[in-house]
């Protein structure tokens, strides 16, 4: 199948490109490079042994999207492109709605123009807001506490309306929990620009001696060790979830929301210990006040993905830490993105 990946040179998009290419699909990467590097395209060719088409463009450019979809004979789109930093979204809501919501509208217009109805959307566990119960299943009420989360929620709702309007649409909203780790080659991975917002890249930089200490945001949560609990999922497992979603959509029309998580929560301190164990480095940390907006615990009920997509996460914390560490060291030597 010919598949377009918006945001295809980004963290999750690039790993998904590997899985799709290795499953025999032809992938076109579409990205404006606002948060990724064009060298990823070469790394992907190296990993998969086949060149990959890259189009530099913005998802808000519906004309270029339409031309690209038509020229490449695209049959399905996986929509990763968007801005994703929660804190930044509070300061720059207009940019977030423009990129994420307006960008998705433009993508839908382009898809409609060339009659492509199969779409997999990168949603997030953030659409559940403050958990009312755990684990989070797909029936949990949705809400948003910041513009980033609200953009994901708006898009999901928009996609539901679109799917209701015409039976030819086949749409999966994949609600990711906390993606971490990297491809085994260490050629691609997560390279945050500036100070990492997220736990895993921050830990990796502390272990590498690039930062002095991790700040643990709060140790007074109602969790076993008082630190925040999340459902960390290996990015290669997540990537395989997209392939499974495409397989599912081949036989199911309509709108579907599915969690992609492991079903297992780990605390900040558990992550620190796992990383120390795998890397052999110490990860100094200090306890600081809670980060505004954080929830105590968030982890998935992953049964629907197993039942409907035939997918479940295979890789554990050790694999997540090992691949992150390998990518960190390779990045320092300058051979990754
Ligand atoms: P990323 O920033 O690495 O990748 C996103 C890509 O989209 C980047 O390459 C960026 O250059 C591109 N992009 C941004 N705006 C664009 C635009 N207007 N036009 C074209 N390209 C544009 O992020 P990621 O971690 O790979 O996330 C991918 C998707 O998954 C995002 O939609 C994100 O919100 C969602 N998600 C991520 C996480 C996470 O923790 N990483 C969790 C839940 C959901
Ligand atoms: N944390 C620290 N110190 C840090 C960074 C994080 O203690 O320097 C803690 C947080 O308080 C939280 C846990 O580590 O308890 C995980 O934090 P992340 O920032 O890595 O991830 P979040 O769960 O806050 O958010 C991520 C994505 C969001 C997405 C959400 C659900 O960043 O975009 O997962 O998918 F919405």
- Label residue 76 exposed, middle or buried (CB < 10 Å: 0-12, 13-18, 19+): buried
What CATH homologous superfamily does 2-182+231-263+300-314 map to? NAD(P)-binding Rossmann-like Domain (3.40.50.720)
Spatial distance between the Cα atoms of 7 and 108, rounded to a whole number of angstroms: 15
Query: Bridge partners of 56?
Result: 31
Crossing angle for the helix pair 235-249 and 11-22, to the nearest 10 degrees: 60
Residue spans per domain, the chain:
2-182+231-263+300-314
- Counting ligands in written order, the one closest to the CA of 288 is 2
pTM: 0.98
Contact 265, 298 (CB under 8 A): yes
State whether the beta carbon of 216 lies less than 6 angstroms from ligand 2: yes
Strands 76-79 and 118-124: parallel
Overall residue count recorded for the chain in this entry: 337
Per-residue pLDDT of the chain (337 residues; tens, 9 = 90+): 999 999 999 999 999 999 999 999 999 999 999 999 999 999 999 999 999 999 999 999 999 999 999 999 999 999 999 999 999 999 999 999 999 999 999 999 999 999 999 999 999 999 999 999 999 999 999 999 899 999 999 999 999 999 999 999 999 999 999 999 999 999 999 988 889 999 999 999 999 999 999 999 999 999 999 999 999 999 999 999 999 999 999 999 999 999 999 999 999 999 999 999 999 999 999 999 999 989 999 999 999 999 999 999 999 999 999 999 999 999 887 655 4
Q: Is 133 a catalytic residue?
A: no
Q: Atom 19 in ligand 1: which residue has the minimum CA distance? A: 58
User: Pick from 330, 295, 260, 316: which is nearest to 16 by CA?
Assistant: 260
CA of 199 to the centre of ligand 2 (A): 6
Catalytic residue among 30, 96, 148, 221: 148
Token pair for 212? 């002095």
- Counting ligands in written order, the one closest to the CA of 227 is 2
């Amino acid at each position: 199948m010919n598949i377009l990946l918006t945001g295809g040179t980004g963290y999750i998009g690039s790993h998904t490109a590997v899985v799709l290419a290795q499953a025999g699909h032809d992938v076109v990467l579409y990205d404006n490079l606002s948060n990724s590097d064009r060298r990823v395209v070469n790394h992907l060719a190296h990993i998969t042994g086949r060149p990959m088409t890259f189009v530099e463009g913005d998802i808000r450019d519906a004309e270029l999207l339409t031309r690209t979809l038509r020229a490449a004979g695209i049959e399905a789109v996986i929509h990763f492109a968007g801005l994703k930093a929660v804190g930044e979204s509070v300061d720059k809501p207009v940019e977030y709605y423009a990129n994420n919501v307006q960008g998705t509208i433009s993508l839908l217009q382009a898809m409609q123009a060339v009659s492509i109805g199969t779409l997999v959307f990168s949603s997030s566990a953030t659409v559940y807001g403050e958990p009312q119960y755990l684990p989070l299943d797909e029936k949990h009420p949705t809400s948003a506490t910041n513009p980033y989360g609200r953009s994901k929620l708006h898009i999901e709702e928009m996609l539901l309306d679109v799917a209701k309007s015409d039976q030819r649409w086949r749409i999966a909203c994949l609600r990711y929990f906390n993606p971490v780790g990297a491809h085994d080659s260490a050629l691609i991975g997560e390279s945050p620009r500036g100070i990492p917002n997220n736990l895993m890249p921050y830990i990796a930089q502390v272990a590498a001696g690039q930062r002095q200490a991790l700040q643990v945001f709060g140790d007074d949560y109602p969790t076993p060790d008082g630190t925040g609990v999340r459902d960390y999922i290996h990015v290669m497992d997540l990537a395989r979830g997209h392939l499974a979603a495409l397989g599912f959509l081949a036989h199911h029309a309509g709108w579907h929301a599915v969690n992609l998580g492991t079903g297992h929560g780990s605390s900040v301190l558990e992550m620190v210990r796992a990383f120390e164990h795998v890397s052999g480095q110490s990860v100094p940390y200090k306890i600081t006040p809670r980060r505004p907006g954080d929830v105590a615990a968030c982890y998935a009920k992953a049964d629907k993905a197993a039942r409907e997509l035939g997918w479940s996460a295979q890789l554990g914390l050790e694999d997540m830490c090992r691949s992150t560490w390998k990518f960190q060291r390779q990045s320092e030597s300058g051979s990754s993105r």
